[in-house]
Chain A
């Protein structure tokens, strides 16, 4: 997870994001990779986690794919709900949402989940494609 986080942070820095945004992106990726390992791949070290970063016209897009069964974002309990505040887990998805502009989960054709995060590019790069 440290490697994935640092890779994305370096890419984000090169894309011109602020230090704060770079940190948030790194955290979001870290949370995504941890979830992919713990829940997606059920801590099976034989299963792979794929990290991909791409650029669209207006966004940096990060994909984190696992080899699990997939999941529905809507089924993740709300960690801000009163009854969940004292839970020791369950905040990863919430933080990913808080630190990115859009979070979605898709089923991969061969199985597993593709967690997709969009982050709007810094204004000086927006509309210019790759930085």
Chain B
């Protein structure tokens, strides 16, 4: 399934609920576009809910890293929540747990933003 994302707010935190695949092409582009729009709109606290993302390739991982950098360069924070096992394992083997702040649940994630 092509990546779809819907945005909602929890206070100052913009939460994007993604579903589908984050892969080279349309999926990666969707993620990039949504992050860009939020940052350009002044949002600085962004949480990505990946509970319905069942597949991510290296391009998708690269896009997540790009999103992290984009938000960080705008002096913001980007966090992840609800990683599926496959996504979790990929983030682990690529050492990206040293980069991403992955939270156990949405409540904890929202509270963790500075």
A contact residues vs B (CB 8 Å cutoff) = 1, 23, 27, 30-31, 34, 79-80, 85-92, 94-95, 98
Partner of A86, one of B59, B90, B99: B99
Within the complex, the shortest CB–CB distance from A35 to chain B, in Å, comes to 9
Residues of B within 8 A of A94 (CB): 58, 94
When C-beta atoms are compared, the residue in chain B nearest to A27 turns out to be B57
Closest to A30 in B: B57
Asked, given contacts A1-B24, A80-B94, A80-B95, whether A88 binds B63 with beta carbons under 8 Å apart, the answer is: yes
Is B98 located at the chain interface by the 8 A CB criterion? yes
Q: Please tell me the number of chain B residues within 8 Å of chain A, measured between CB atoms.
A: 20
For B85-114 the 0/1 string (1 means CB < 8 A from A) is 010001001111011000000000000000
Nearest chain B residue, comparing its CB with the CB of A26: B55
**A91 partner residues in chain B, CB cutoff 8 A:** 58, 61-62, 94
CA distance A92 to B90 in the complex (A): 12
Q: Which residues of A contact B98 (CB under 8 A)?
A: 85
8 closest A-B pairs by CB: A88-B62, A91-B58, A88-B66, A92-B58, A80-B95, A89-B62, A88-B65, A95-B58
A–B complex contacts, Cβ < 8 Å, 24 sampled = A1-B24, A23-B86, A31-B57, A34-B24, A34-B57, A34-B58, A34-B59, A79-B94, A85-B99, A86-B68, A86-B69, A86-B99, A87-B65, A88-B62, A88-B69, A89-B59, A89-B62, A91-B58, A91-B61, A91-B62, A92-B58, A94-B58, A95-B94, A98-B93
